[in-house]
C-alpha cells in the first residue's frame, strides 16, 4: 500500500519511520508519473514489510518538494533514519526500481 504523504503527515510517516521510506514525488498532470504509480503500487505490495511507500503531490505540497530540491518529476527519494539516502529522477521499469531497492 502506498500512503498519501502531505505536510501534516510527512514528519511522522517519513522522517520518524523506523523502516526506510520511498516517497514518490508526482503531479496529477505528469504523464511519466502516471506510468510510475502502478509500478510503485505493485512494488509496495511485495516489499511493504521492509520499506514504507508514500506518494507526495508536489502541487499540493510545494514546501516539501522545495525542501528536498525536487526539480523534475517523477522523483523518488528513499529516506533512511530521517534523511534522504538516495534520489532517483525520472520514470523507470519495475525491474530497475526493484534493483535499486534491494539494498534497503
pLDDT tens by residue, 49-96: 999 999 999 999 999 999 999 999 999 999 999 999 999 999 999 999
Q: Domains in the chain, please, with CATH?
A: 2-101 (3.40.30.10)
The per-residue pLDDT for 64 is: 97
- Beta-carbon contacts of 76 under 8 Å, excluding residues fewer than 6 positions away, are 22, 23, 24, 25, 36, 40, 87, 88, 89, 97
The per-residue pLDDT for 32 is: 97
Catalytically active residues are 30, 33
Scan for cell 516539501, then name that residue. 64
CA angle 97, 103, 104 (to 5 degrees): 85
Provide mean pLDDT across the span 37-46: 96
Amino acid at each position: 500500500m502506498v500512503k498519501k504523504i502531505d505536510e501534516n503527515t510527512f514528519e511522522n510517516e517519513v522522517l520518524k519511520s523506523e523502516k526506510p521510506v520511498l516517497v514518490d514525488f508526482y503531479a496529477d498532470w505528469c504523464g511519466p508519473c502516471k506510468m510510475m504509480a502502478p509500478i510503485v503500487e505493485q512494488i509496495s505490495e511485495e516489499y511493504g514489510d521492509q520499506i514504507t511507500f508514500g506518494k507526495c503531490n508536489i502541487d499540493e505540497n510545494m514546501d516539501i518538494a522545495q525542501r528536498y530540491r525536487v526539480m523534475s518529476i517523477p522523483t523518488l527519494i528513499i529516506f533512511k533514519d530521517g534523511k534522504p539516502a538516495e534520489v532517483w529522477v525520472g520514470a523507470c521499469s519495475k525491474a530497475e526500481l526493484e534493483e535499486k531497492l534491494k539494498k534497503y
